[in-house]
Amino acid sequence: MSSSAQTIAMFTPRQQLNSKEIVLFDTRPHFIAIVRLRDLAWFVIGSVLVPAVAAGIAEAVDKGATAGWAWLAWFFVMLLPLLARIVAWSHEYYSLTDQRILHGHGFISRSLKARQLARIGGVLDISTYRITGVTFYQGFVGRLFNFGNIVFDTNHDNIYWRGIKDPLNVRRLIEEKVAAFQEVGANQATYNEAVIRKVAEVKTEERFGLVEPKRNISMQEALGTAGLQASATVYAACSNCGSQESARATFCSQCGNKLGQMS
């Protein structure tokens, strides 16, 4: 696992990332978005009413077993579903890396949905996704608790992250990350294309005897000293939490601190 991936990833399991994959941003859904306000309300109401009902049954019928059934019904109908949703929330995450968009969930049976991202400009592989825009939506409950849905517009279908905390700032952070790594990919693709074209040109000249053949020709030799140089991603550490961020980013993806500014 690369040190960058280990530093940045907060919720993404390390075993889900390959050795060269860097997590640009990851998060977990808001607690209320998964557990749901309605379930919490029923749990609170049930917790208040069941003891009163159980006590009334025990007093009226004088049978402790009958009151026990009331508590058992409360456990299976109200408490157990709430606990199941809390466990589901703790094992769900969304992650944007420099290679994929990930959505993982599940405790007993785990599931991972991954979309391969294109890091090149121009011609795209048919199986890869290229992000063309990022939007968000907040309903009434989402506005109350500050969560909403993030939508990735791609060259294929849309990709949804549901129940994301602070969606306005998350959308802005993701747009910065996507713009940075897709630009790096486009520069790298331009460089690779120039290398291939120049090597082919040299080989053709050798074949027709226009230049003296070389036993081995490297990419740098083919391009010459004035050739294009491969672009490399530059990272800077957040002064607040130490997260490794792209030098083009304005804010830290983990703590929201403005980069280049002491917290």
40 in the same domain as 11: no
65 in the same domain as 38: yes
43 in the same domain as 3: no
Per-residue pLDDT tens digits for 36-48: 877 788 788 877 7
Of the three residues 80, 111, 142, the one that is the final residue of a domain is 111
Q: 126 pLDDT exceeds 60? A: no
CB 81 within 8 A of CB 39: yes
CB 161 within 8 A of CB 103: yes
DSSP 8-state assignment for residue 119: -
Average pLDDT of 95-116? 87
Of the listed ranges 9-23, 162-176, 185-199, the one predicted with least confidence: 185-199
39 in the same domain as 82: yes
Per-residue pLDDT tens digits for 131-185: 888 999 999 989 999 999 999 988 888 899 999 999 999 999 888 888 777 666 5
- Does a structural domain hold residue 125? no
99 in the same domain as 25: yes
Q: Is 141 helix (H, G, I), strand (E, B) or coil?
A: helix
Q: What are the φ/ψ torsions at residue 34 (nearest 5 degrees)?
A: -95, -50
- Tell me which residue range forms the domain holding 249: 233-263
24 in the same domain as 98: yes
Please tell me the predicted confidence (pLDDT) of residue 95.
Answer: 92
Of the three residues 77, 111, 145, the one that is the final residue of a domain is 111
- Does a structural domain hold residue 42? yes
- Does a structural domain hold residue 243? yes
- Does a structural domain hold residue 158? no
49 in the same domain as 79: yes
Domains in the chain: how many in total? 3
- Does a structural domain hold residue 13? yes
For the record, the structure tokens of 175 come out as 């747009």
82 in the same domain as 42: yes
58 in the same domain as 81: yes
| Phi-psi map region of 47: left, alpha, beta (phi>0 left; psi -120 to 50 alpha) | alpha
Choice between 244 and 175, residue whose per-residue pLDDT is larger: 175
pTM of the model: 0.61
- Does a structural domain hold residue 106? yes
Q: 86 pLDDT exceeds 80? A: yes
Choice between 212 and 27, residue whose per-residue pLDDT is larger: 27
Q: What are the φ/ψ torsions at residue 115 (nearest 5 degrees)?
A: -115, 120
Per-residue pLDDT tens digits for 163-174: 999 999 999 988
- Does a structural domain hold residue 81? yes
Q: If you search the block for the tokens 């939508």, which residue do you land on?
A: 151
- Does a structural domain hold residue 78? yes
Burial degree of 20 (CB within 10 A; 0-12, 13-18, 19+)? exposed
261 contact partners, CB below 8 Å, separation of at least 6: 239
58 in the same domain as 99: no
